[in-house]
Amino acid sequence: MQSIEFLHYPRSEDSSLLLWGFRIDGTDLRVHVADATRAHWSREHEEETPSEQERFLLSQHDGLPVPEIGDPMRHFLGDPAPEFADAAGTTPVLGCSCGIWGCWPVLALITTTPTTVTWSSFRQPFRKEWGELSTGPYVFARNRYEAALAEPVRLIKDPLEGLNEETEP
């Protein structure tokens, strides 16, 4: 089984707005999604340098605004509020870096049993041709998952801040 950390971190442009973020096995979910979308994006960003491509991949998504989620236990156990729900039964787990979660979300199917919570079938709804992204499924022990969800780790900055800055001389 995988481990998950639920995070609250401030949005870069507005430090008063907290976002939900996640680390799965110690790695930010946005890194997992960047890895899963790299090949899809390479055709559209082939004229960019490798560091420009990587900056783009790591900054295409952000967390979900804490106030908009409502009941996080309900949302992150796969029963989102109607404004987040879709016909496929998926739940937003990442939003767009522009601040409007629905502009460029990542959706996942969150299924539960009495002992596990599974995130699977990740997809980008505006790129249907990509199909299911090649990340996950992630299976978590439900008791540890719910404990982590009840006590999110509070960070003073975005955990990816600085990772996607220019490093070439």
CA atoms within 13 A on the CB side of 132: 12
Task: Identify the pLDDT of residue 16.
Answer: 81
Q: Lowest mean pLDDT: which of 30-44, 58-72, 95-109, 152-166? A: 152-166
Q: Which of 95, 84, 83, 90 is nearest to 122 (CA)?
A: 90
User: Is 169 part of a structural domain of the chain?
Assistant: no
User: Distance between CA atoms of 4 and 27, rounded to whole angstroms?
Assistant: 9
Q: What pLDDT, in 10s, does the model give residues 62-75?
A: 999 999 999 999 99
User: Is 160 part of a structural domain of the chain?
Assistant: no
Mean pLDDT of 26-54: 88
∠ CA 107-33-165, nearest 5°, is 130
**In total, how many domains does the chain have?**
1
pLDDT at 165 over 70: no
Task: Identify the pLDDT of residue 167.
Answer: 39
User: Distance between CA atoms of 73 and 145, rounded to whole angstroms?
Assistant: 10
Mean pLDDT of 147-154: 97
User: Is 159 part of a structural domain of the chain?
Assistant: no
pLDDT at 166 over 70: no
User: Is 135 part of a structural domain of the chain?
Assistant: yes
Q: Mapping DSSP to helix (H, G, I), strand (E, B) and coil, where does residue 113 land?
A: coil
User: Distance between CA atoms of 47 and 34, rounded to whole angstroms?
Assistant: 18
Looking at the DSSP assignment, which residues form a beta bridge with residue 119?
110, 138
Band the pLDDT of 127: cuts 50, 70, 90. very high
Task: Identify the pLDDT of residue 169.
Answer: 34
Band the pLDDT of 85: cuts 50, 70, 90. confident
pTM score: 0.90
User: Is 86 part of a structural domain of the chain?
Assistant: yes
Which domain range does residue 42 map to? 4-154
